[in-house]
Amino acid sequence: MVRVVRATQVEIDTAVQALRDGELVAFPTETVYGLGANAQNPAAVRKIFAAKGRPADHPVIVHLDSPRFLHRWVREVPEAANKLAERFWPGPLTMVMPRAANVHDVVTGGQDTVAIRVPSHPMAQQLLTAFGGGIAAPSANRYGRLSPTRAEHVRDEFGDEVRFVLDGGDCKLGLESTIVSCVEDAPRVLRPGSITLSQLRAVVPTVRGGADAGSPRVPGSDVKHYAPRTPLSIVTSKTLEEVVAQSTVDHERVAVLAMRPPRLANKFMTWINAGRRADLYGRDLYVNLRTLDKSGAREILVEEVPGGELWEAVRDRLSRAASAENVVAMDPDIAALRADMGEDIGYP
- Interface pattern 218-257 for ligand TXA (x via CB under 6 A): xxx-------------------------------------
CB of residue 54 vs Mg ion: minimum separation in angstroms?
Answer: 8
* Nearest to ligand TXA of 19, 32 (CB atom): 32
Per-residue interface string for the shown chain with ligand TXA, residues 299-328, x marking contact by CB under 6 A = ------------------------------
Nearest CA to 113 out of 215, 225, 220 is that of: 215
| Structure letter (DSSP) for residue 348 | -
User: By CB under 6 A, what part of segment 262-301 binds ligand TXA?
Assistant: none
Decide: 292 and 338 in contact? Cβ < 8 Å.
no
Instruction: Using the minimum distance from each CB to Mg ion, give the nearer residue, 137 or 301.
Output: 137
Query: How far apart, in whole angstroms, are the C-alpha atoms of residue 62 and residue 189?
Result: 18
Chain-centroid distance, C-alpha 128: 19
179 binds ligand TXA (CB under 6 A): yes
Q: What's the length of the chain?
A: 348
Helices (H), the chain: 9-20, 42-52, 79-88, 105-108, 122-131, 151-158, 197-203, 240-247, 278-293, 312-322, 332-340
Q: How far is the C-alpha of 118 from the C-alpha of 90, rounded, in Å?
A: 5
Q: For Mg ion, give the closer residue by CB, 59 or 98.
A: 59
Q: Which is nearer to Mg ion, 157 or 303 (CB)?
A: 157
- Kindly write out the interface string for residues 132-161 of this chain, putting x where it contacts ligand TXA by CB under 6 A and - elsewhere: -----xxx----------------------
Binding segment toward Mg ion, per CB under 5 A, in 38-46, 131-139, 304-312, 320-328: 131-139
Closest CA to 227 of 323, 140, 306: 323
Binding mask 102-121 for ligand TXA (x = CB under 6 A): ------x--x-xxx-x-x--
In the list 41, 126, 149, 177, the residue contacting ligand TXA (rule: CB under 6 A) is 177
For ligand TXA, the closer of residues 49 and 271 by Cβ is 49
Nearer to Mg ion, 61 or 302 (CB): 61
- How far apart are the C-alpha atoms of 164 and 123, rounded to whole Å? 14
Least separation in angstroms between residue 205's CB and ligand TXA is 23
- The Cβ of residue 347 has, within 10 Å, a number of other Cβ atoms equal to 20
Closest by CA to 103, choosing from 60, 161, 141, is 60
Determine if 32 is a binding residue for ligand TXA (CB under 6 A). yes
Query: With binding defined as CB under 5 A, does residue 139 bind Mg ion?
Result: yes
Least gap, CB of 145 to Mg ion (angstroms): 9
Contact 70, 155 (CB under 8 A): no
Rounded to 10 degrees, what is the CA torsion of 182, 188, 194, 195?
Answer: 60
CB atoms near residue 220 (< 10 Å): 19
| Cβ distance to Mg ion smaller for residue 65 or 157 | 157
Distance, in Å, from the CA atom of 214 to the CA atom of 238, rounded to the nearest integer, reads: 38
> Per-residue DSSP letters for 94-107?
EEEEEBPTTS-HHH
Residue 58 binds what, of ligand TXA, Mg ion, none (CB under 5 to 8 Å, by partner type)?
ligand TXA
Give the residue with the Cβ less far from ligand TXA, 34 or 168.
Answer: 34
Task: Note the residues at the interface with ligand TXA (CB under 6 A).
Answer: 29, 31-32, 34, 58-61, 94, 96, 108, 111, 113-115, 117, 119, 137-139, 176-177, 179, 190, 216-220
Site for Mg ion, rule CB under 5 A:
139
